Each structure stands twice: as C-alpha cells, then as structure tokens.
C-alpha cells in the first residue's frame, strides 16, 4: 500500500484560524492577522466545541494504490468525499504475474500450504478471466470472474472534518486491517501537514468513548501506534520543512503498520508453484508532495 498526498489547502491551519477568529471582529479574514499561538489556541477551542464548519475548510487530495477491491468497497462508503477509481472495464490484469492481487498477512502467517492454496485460487480465477476475454466476453462481464483481492488504485478528496470522522471509525483496532493501515497512514500524513488540527486525532477510544467491539481493550494498542507514527513524523518534519514546493518526502511505515514476510517462505512457494516472482509482504509507504 502506498498513499500519496497529491494536494492540500496551503497554510490551511492559518487560513481557517483567520476565517474563524475574524467572525467575532470588524476585520474580514483577508485583513486579519494571526500568529502561531493563535492557530494552536483556535484549534484547541474548535476541537473542544466541535466546530465542524471550521474543519470543513481545508481539503486533502490523495492517491491510494496497491490495495484490494475489498478495501475500496469499504473506503468509498464514506460519502462526504469524492472518489475516482481505476476501472477494470478498461484495464486488464496479467494472470502470469502474482502482483495483481493482495495476499492478506493472516493467510501468509498460516504457513506454506495455506498460502499456496490461496495463490493458486487467485491465479485460476485470473486464467478464467482471460479465457472469457478470448471468447469475446465483454471486459465489463469477464471481470466478474476476478477475486475481490485484485489490486487497484483510487484518488480521494476529503475535507478535514471528513478525515477526522474517517480516523474515528477506520483507525479503530476493530476495523479491517487494510483500511485501518490506510487510516493510520493518512493520520501520519495529516500530522505532517496540519499538526495542530490533528494533534489529538485518532479512533473513538482516543478522542472520546470506545465504539468498537473491543470495549476499550485496544486503546493501549491504538495509543502506542499513534505514538510511533508521531515519532516518525517528528523525526522527518525538519526534512519536510526544508524541501521545496512540488518536492516530496517518503516515509516507510511498514514496521509500524505493515507486515514483512519470511523470504525463505517466499522462495519455497515460488519454486513449488513455478513462479517468476512473489512478494507476500504488506508494505506501507507514505509520500507527501509539498505545497
């Protein structure tokens, strides 16, 4: 999985602070001046009073790639956002290449036999898909044969209020692993570009009361995950501040949010299934293109 922040409201925290604070004065936002302390104070007040209109102002546009359609089925349920996804009607997959699908870490952890069974099934469905295309079945119908684990990419535009809600529900340890990793990666990105807005962001157990099935038991894990992400972000903040407009910074978050498969196991399965290449790891990367 890789998330790329393509665009975001420049100086969004300063902008919404001007717009918000100016409402109680005679000075319009275009003339209103704020400093760093004003931004921090206004963000704190806005969080405490749940001033949703404030957080409607800044918008983030980001790309998510190397994710399954199981992930996107969940992701696009967030309707207070705009989504554009790769079409399987106009693109084809290669059944000879195992990189066309996602392998859940839970299957890999079960061992060689379980993983082989899963991979063979994915390849079989892809072969069926190709045969249907050769028989002049329209791509929009042939794709019905493909598994939900097929890789895809999409682009999403969300305002900050929608992102905060997304984090509330999708960063919960009760959520599905792939969309949870996406949520925490998005949180890391937002802490980098809007540190004051997202200072206390996270799942419901962090921001208020647990609403998952864990009944608060996973709050410790969520807190630890956020601390690790904050350390990673803060370590790279000087580098981000130093790069120029349209340059980017890349953070590898695999150790925090992903899974590294055993290379020996990968080689064993690769040989037994006579595959050219296989990657069973779930890598998580974040790229932020600076405004």
Q: Active-site residues: which are they? A: 170
Query: Residue 187 in 3-state DSSP?
Result: helix
Beta strands in 130-247 (DSSP E): 151-159
Distance of alpha carbon 13 from alpha carbon 23, whole angstroms: 16
Q: How far is CA 195 from CA 37, 121, 220, in A?
A: 13, 44, 22
Tokens 């956020």 found at: 226
């Amino acid at each position: 999985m890789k998330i790329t922040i393509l665009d975001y409201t420049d100086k969004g925290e300063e902008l919404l602070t001007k717009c918000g604070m100016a409402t109680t004065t005679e000075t319009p936002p275009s003339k209103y001046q704020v400093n760093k302390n004003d931004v921090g104070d206004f963000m704190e007040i806005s969080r405490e009073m749940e001033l949703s209109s404030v957080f409607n102002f800044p918008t983030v546009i980001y790309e998510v790639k190397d994710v399954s359609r199981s992930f996107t089925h969940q992701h696009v349920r967030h309707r207070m956002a705009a989504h554009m996804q790769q079409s399987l009607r106009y693109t084809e997959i290669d059944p000879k290449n195992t990189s066309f699908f996602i392998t859940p870490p839970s299957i890999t952890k079960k061992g060689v036999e379980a993983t082989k069974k899963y991979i063979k099934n994915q390849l079989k469905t892809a072969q069926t898909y190709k045969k249907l295309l050769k028989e002049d079945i329209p791509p929009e119908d042939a794709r019905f044969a493909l598994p939900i684990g097929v890789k895809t990419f999409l682009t999403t535009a969300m305002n900050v209020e929608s992102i905060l809600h997304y984090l509330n529900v999708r960063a919960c340890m009760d959520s599905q692993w792939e969309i949870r990793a996406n949520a925490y990666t998005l949180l890391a990105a937002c802490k980098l570009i809007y540190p004051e807005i997202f200072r206390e962001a996270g799942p419901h157990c962090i921001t208020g009361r647990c609403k998952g099935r864990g009944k608060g038991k996973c709050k410790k894990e969520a807190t630890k995950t956020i601390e690790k992400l904050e350390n990673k972000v803060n370590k790279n903040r000087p580098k981000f501040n130093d790069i120029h407009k349209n340059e980017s910074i890349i953070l590898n978050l695999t150790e925090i949010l992903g899974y590294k498969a055993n290379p020996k196991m990968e080689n064993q399965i690769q040989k037994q299934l006579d595959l050219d290449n296989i990657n069973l790891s779930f890598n998580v990367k974040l790229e932020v293109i600076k405004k």
